[in-house]
């Protein structure tokens, strides 16, 4: 798909270059620069007809010509004070400008080519410029801009270099500033970093020099246009049916969950799927740095952190929202990710009646997740002894789910572990389910999900609540489903 798209884009560029080269010269380029102060005039009117029609002297490049047209267009739109207008007004002005200039200068483009040029100029002005084709590709989950010549994407769990290029470093900076302005934020040399969220939920992280020394950078994390549900992750073999039944019962029994994994492993996907099992009558409060969770329930309050403004004020942290949430009478609290001092308040909330809550954490395994959680608490409250923190963790967290993205790009639930107590200073855990790798070949990862033969300690709670959970679900079986 990407090869055909690149070929098409290359063909379009060749068409533009060939036809535009018949209409412009290097002398015209200099005139374009000198006539910016008169945006409404015919910027080729001073060029003699002979010079305009001699193909031997034509050396102009399509990208450069488009850049010049864009500069003139931006000046004209600015004079008309349209930047404060709606996207529809700006789009209409750009199309009128493009049609007028192409007609005045007799540029030999057909209707489709004129429309394509207008679309590109529109995207450059109010959109994301060269990144627009990547954002329209549903297979792209991450877009990573390292420099004008190095734009990478992740498709199906694999990172690959694209043919997309920016004109220069300033071009990247303009796109970043445009995104920030749309979100009512500011990014410049005084604060050259920004973490943004687009209207469709897409997360954007941007940096400018001097933080990123070589070039402005842009990292875009996209989310699926459709939310993945339980039946979807089962079809994708992200987890087994036995795992799904157990997690559904544990959620209904109001057990507390910690979902661990690396970046892009699928933690938020698993968290979103688990929320489907929450009863509709319960009041849910979500706390996230960037709102991305989609819940089916109606009784939901969504809270989002806020960074400080350019004056260094107005910052609202996860801990601030968590403390406030306790006064909102929640039945369940969902913290998008715990990564700092809010760990103290989260453990206290889980130990004081707010059962059935969930959160995610970056870690390489369930034991590492608990170790990181302990470290966060110690950093926030250095006066707490280690054994007291571990006692809090054992009481607050019931199940740890570890998610991993394997070498073939597929995300799978690697382990589901239950916390069963402490042995001296060590926290005791037992694996209920796990993923067992068989082999890896050119077709990808092969393996199967297994039950570890351990009966969960929470089975008693299931029985008391009338939740049917057959013990055969946890028996060790011969692998029969190859992933």
Cβ neighbours for 164, distance < 8 A, ≥ 6 positions apart = 130, 131, 133, 134, 151
Determine the pLDDT at residue 398: 96
Name the fold adopted by 131-221: Beta-Lactamase (3.30.450)
Per-residue pLDDT at 19 exceeds 70:
no
On the 0-12 / 13-18 / 19+ scale of CB atoms within 10 A, 14 is: exposed
Q: Does residue 338 contact residue 345 with C-beta atoms inside 8 Å?
A: no
Side-chain-side CA neighbours of 227 within 13 Å: the count stands at: 18
Determine the pLDDT at residue 167: 82
* Cα–Cα nearest to 351, from 319, 288, 385, 397: 397
pLDDT, tens digit, for every residue of 305-334?
887 766 667 889 999 999 999 999 999 999
Cβ neighbours for 386, distance < 8 A, ≥ 6 positions apart = 374, 378, 425
Determine the pLDDT at residue 224: 62
* Global pTM value: 0.70
Q: What is the DSSP letter of 397?
A: -
Calculate mean pLDDT across residues 86-112: 74
| Complete edge-to-edge strand list for the sheet that includes strand 444-451 | 300-304, 284-288, 332-335, 358-362, 257-261, 399-405, 411-423, 426-441, 444-451
Separation between Cα atoms, residue 35 and residue 40, nearest integer Å: 10
Quickly state the pLDDT bin for 117 (edges 50, 70, 90).
Answer: confident
- φ, ψ for residue 344, nearest 5 deg: -60, -50
Quickly state the pLDDT bin for 78 (edges 50, 70, 90).
Answer: low
Per-residue pLDDT at 60 exceeds 90:
no
Quickly state the pLDDT bin for 51 (edges 50, 70, 90).
Answer: very low
Q: Indicate the range of 21-30, 116-125, 325-334, 462-471 predicted with least confidence.
A: 21-30
Separation between Cα atoms, residue 213 and residue 220, nearest integer Å: 19
Q: Where are the alpha helices (DSSP H) in 253-316?
A: 267-274
* Cα–Cα nearest to 261, from 343, 366, 158, 340: 366
Calculate mean pLDDT across residues 61-90: 63
- φ, ψ for residue 146, nearest 5 deg: -95, -30
| DSSP letter for each residue of 170-205 | HHHHHHHHHHHHHTT---BTTB-EEEEE-TTS-EEE
pLDDT, tens digit, for every residue of 218-241?
999 887 656 788 999 999 889 999
Quickly state the pLDDT bin for 15 (edges 50, 70, 90).
Answer: very low
SS3 343: helix
Per-residue pLDDT at 206 exceeds 90:
yes
Calculate mean pLDDT across residues 419-443: 88
Pairing mode of beta strands 411-423, 426-441: antiparallel
Q: Indicate the range of 9-18, 125-134, 205-214, 316-325 predicted with least confidence.
A: 9-18
The residue with tokens 């043919």 is 163
Determine the pLDDT at residue 47: 40
Calculate mean pLDDT across residues 420-436: 92
Q: Which residues of 373-399 are buried (b: 16+ CB within 10 A; e: fewer)?
A: bbebbbeeeeeeeeeebbebbbebbbb
Residue 352 token pair = 């004081």
pLDDT, tens digit, for every residue of 364-404?
999 999 999 999 999 887 678 888 899 999 999 999 999 99
Quickly state the pLDDT bin for 425 (edges 50, 70, 90).
Answer: confident
Separation between Cα atoms, residue 290 and residue 78, nearest integer Å: 33
Quickly state the pLDDT bin for 84 (edges 50, 70, 90).
Answer: very low
Residue 31 token pair = 């005139």
Q: Where in the chain is the domain with CATH 3.30.450.370?
A: 131-221
Separation between Cα atoms, residue 435 and residue 450, nearest integer Å: 6
pLDDT, tens digit, for every residue of 142-184?
999 999 999 999 887 788 999 988 888 988 988 888 788 777 7
Domain 230-474 architecture: 3-Layer(aba) Sandwich (3.40)
Determine the pLDDT at residue 315: 86
């Amino acid at each position: 798909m990407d090869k055909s798209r690149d070929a098409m884009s290359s063909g379009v560029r060749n068409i533009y270059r060939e036809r535009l080269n018949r209409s412009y010269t290097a002398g015209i380029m200099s005139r374009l620069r000198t006539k910016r102060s008169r945006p409404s005039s015919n910027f080729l009117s001073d060029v003699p007809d002979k010079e305009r029609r001699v193909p031997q002297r034509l050396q102009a490049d399509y990208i450069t010509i488009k850049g010049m047209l864009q500069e003139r267009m931006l000046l004209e739109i600015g004079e008309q004070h349209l930047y404060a207008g709606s996207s529809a007004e700006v789009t209409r002005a750009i199309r009128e400008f493009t049609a007028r200039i192409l007609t005045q200068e007799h540029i030999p483009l057909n209707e489709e080519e004129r429309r394509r040029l207008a679309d590109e100029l529109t995207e450059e002005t109010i959109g994301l410029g060269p990144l627009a084709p990547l954002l329209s590709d549903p297979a792209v989950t991450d877009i990573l801009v390292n420099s004008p010549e190095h734009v990478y994407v992740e498709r199906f769990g694999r990172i690959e270099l694209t043919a997309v290029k920016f004109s220069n470093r300033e071009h990247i900076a303009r796109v970043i500033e445009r995104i920030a302005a749309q979100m009512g934020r500011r990014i410049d040399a005084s604060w050259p970093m920004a973490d943004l969220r687009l209207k469709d939920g897409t997360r954007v992280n941007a940096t400018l020099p001097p933080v990123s020394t070589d070039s402005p950078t842009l990292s875009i994390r996209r989310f699926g246009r459709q939310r993945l549900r339980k039946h979807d992750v089962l079809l994708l073999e992200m987890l087994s049916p036995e795992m799904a039944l157990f997690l559904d019962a544990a959620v209904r029994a109001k057990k507390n969950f910690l979902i661990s994994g690396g970046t892009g492993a699928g933690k938020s996907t698993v968290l979103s799927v688990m929320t489907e099992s929450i009863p509709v009558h319960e009041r849910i409060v979500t706390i996230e740095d960037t709102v991305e969770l989609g819940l089916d329930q109606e009784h939901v309050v969504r809270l989002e952190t806020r960074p400080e403004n350019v004056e260094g004020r107005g910052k609202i942290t996860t801990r601030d929202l968590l403390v406030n949430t306790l006064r909102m009478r929640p039945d369940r609290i969902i913290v998008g990710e715990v990564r700092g001092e809010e760990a103290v308040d989260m453990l206290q909330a889980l130990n004081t009646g707010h059962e059935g809550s969930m959160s995610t954490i970056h870690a390489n395994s369930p034991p590492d997740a608990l170790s990181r959680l302990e470290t966060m608490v110690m950093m926030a409250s250095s006066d707490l002894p280690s054994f007291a923190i571990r006692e809090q963790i054992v009481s607050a967290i019931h199940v740890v789910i570890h998610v991993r993205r394997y070498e073939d790009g597929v995300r799978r639930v690697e382990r589901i572990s239950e916390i069963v107590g402490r042995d001296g200073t060590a926290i005791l855990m037992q694996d209920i389910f796990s993923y067992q790798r068989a082999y890896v070949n050119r077709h990808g990862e092969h393996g199967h999900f297994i039950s570890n033969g351990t009966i969960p300690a929470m089975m008693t709670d299931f029985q008391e609540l009338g939740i049917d959970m057959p013990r055969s679900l946890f028996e060790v079986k011969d692998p029969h489903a190859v992933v």
